[in-house]
Structure 1
Amino acid sequence: MLQKMYDWIDERVDITPLWRDIADHEVPEHVNPAHHFSAFVYCFGGLTFFVTVIQILSGMFLTMYYVPDIENAWRSVYYLQTQVQAGQIVRGMHHWGASVVIVMLFLHTLRVFFQGAYKKPRELNWMVGVLIFFVMLALGLTGYLLPWDNKAYFATVVTLQIAEQVPFIGEMAKTLLNGDPSIVGAQTLARFFAIHVFFLPAALFVLMAVHFIMIRKQGISGPL
């Protein structure tokens, strides 16, 4: 059945050459764990992508129940965890995945740095990877407020105070994030939700596409 569907689509769109170009890619021997134990350090990039996919899918599920206003945000999270089938599991995956993806990305960055994979001709890809790191941190930061509990509220207050201390653009950054300059409230939650769900994922998709395209063209870096 699946083969028939594939053949039907391929006959009209000719996707086989594109698929072969993506999938039929020779992997260097030094990244094969069966031949070199040190090849496991090359897995951190793939693990980061895998956890990112889990974060996207679980986040899409959470948005089906989450209500981004100060009256119902906490209630919607509580309802999701207590009333929705498997809701607590999916939210747990998203919650812990936010930490795991940062750890995997950090380990991947360390591998690239210590093996010198950021050097010519991969300098641009290194800069793109650093931008991805900052986007991931921003996703974790903006998502922290969304449950709208006491811990999230006061953590966001501290975050906004830190943002205000940034030279030259501190006041503008705080206003952009907070909305209402006098209190962390409905505008803050709405802006953090929009940034977390729309702006940062869009930036992440673009950066990851560029990152993968350059990896495809330049190949995987050699061993240390």
Structure 2
Amino acid sequence: MLQRVYDWIDERLDITPMWRDIADHEVPEHVNPAHHFSAFVYCFGGLTFFITVIQILSGMFLTMYYVPDIVNAYESVRYLQSEVAFGMIVRGMHHWGASLVIVMMFLHTLRVFFTGAYKKPRELNWVVGVLIFFTMLALGFTGYLLPWDMKAYFATVVGLEIAEAVPFVGELAATLLAGGEIIGAQTLTRFFAIHVFFLPGALLGLMAAHFIMIRRQGISGPL
């Protein structure tokens, strides 16, 4: 059945050459675990991408039940966990995945640095990777407030105080994030919008650029 659907689409859009161009790509010998034990360190980037996909899919599920206002936010999270089928599992995946993706990205960044993969001609890809790292950190920060419990509230207070301490632009940045002088309804709405719309859009654009450059330049060689 799936083959017939694929053939129907391929007959009209001719997607097979495009798919082969993506899939039929030689993998260097030094990233093959069968030949080199250290090849596992080259898996960190792929694992980061895999966890990111899980974060996107689980986040889409969570937004179907989450209510981004200070009256209903906490109750919507409680309802999701206690009343929705598999809600606790999906939220747990999203919660722990937010930490795991940072760990895997940090390990991937270390691999790139210690193998010299940031050097010519991959300097621009390194810059894009660093921007992806900061985007992930921003996603973690903005998502932390959304359950609207005491821990999330005071963690956001600390985070905004740190942002306010940045020279020149810190006070303005903190005010824009908070939506005013206090952390309240405007803050929660802005964090939700940034977390669900602005940052994912930036992340997808950066990841597309990252993968295109990897495709053009190939996987970096060993140290």
TM-score (norm 1): 0.99
Instruction: Give the Cα separation in 1 of the matches to 2:193 and 2:21.
Output: 36
Instruction: Give the Cα separation in 2 of the matches to 1:132 and 1:9.
Output: 34
Q: Work out whether 1:70 is the aligned partner of 2:49.
A: no
1:158 maps to 158
1:1-36 C-alpha deviation (Å, 9 max, x unpaired): 111111111111111111011111110011001111
Deviates more, 1:167-176 or 1:62-71: 167-176
Residue type of the alignment partner of 1:218: Q
1:218 maps to 217
User: What are the equivalent positions in structure 2 for 1:11-160 lying under 5 Å apart?
Assistant: 11-160=11-160
Offset, 1:172: 1.3
2:187 maps to 188
Instruction: Give the Cα separation in 2 of the matches to 1:222 and 1:158.
Output: 42
Offset, 1:176: 1.1
Instruction: Give the Cα separation in 1 of the matches to 2:109 and 2:160.
Output: 27
1:25-60 C-alpha deviation (Å, 9 max, x unpaired): 110011001111000000000000000000000000
Say which SS state the counterpart of residue 113 (structure 1) adopts. helix
Instruction: Give the Cα separation in 2 of the matches to 1:40 and 1:75.
Output: 43
Instruction: Give the Cα separation in 1 of the matches to 2:56 and 2:217.
Output: 27
Count of aligned positions: 223
Say which SS state the counterpart of residue 220 (structure 1) adopts. coil
2:204 maps to 205
Deviates more, 1:75-84 or 1:165-174: 165-174
Instruction: Give the Cα separation in 2 of the matches to 1:65 and 1:77.
Output: 8
Offset, 1:171: 1.6
Instruction: Give the Cα separation in 2 of the matches to 1:126 and 1:7.
Output: 39
Instruction: Give the Cα separation in 1 of the matches to 2:33 and 2:207.
Output: 25
Residue type of the alignment partner of 1:214: M
Residue type of the alignment partner of 2:98: A
Residue type of the alignment partner of 1:118: Y
1:93-122 C-alpha deviation (Å, 9 max, x unpaired): 000000000000000000000000000000
Offset, 1:175: 1.4
Say which SS state the counterpart of residue 33 (structure 1) adopts. coil
Say which SS state the counterpart of residue 142 (structure 2) adopts. helix
TM-score (norm 2): 0.99
Offset, 1:210: 0.3
Instruction: Give the Cα separation in 1 of the matches to 2:146 and 2:216.
Output: 39
The alignment yields a C-alpha RMSD, in angstroms, of: 0.5
Name segments (4+ residues, structure 1) moved above 3 Å: none
Instruction: Give the Cα separation in 2 of the matches to 1:223 and 1:154.
Output: 45
Offset, 1:188: 0.1
Instruction: Give the Cα separation in 2 of the matches to 1:25 and 1:172.
Output: 47
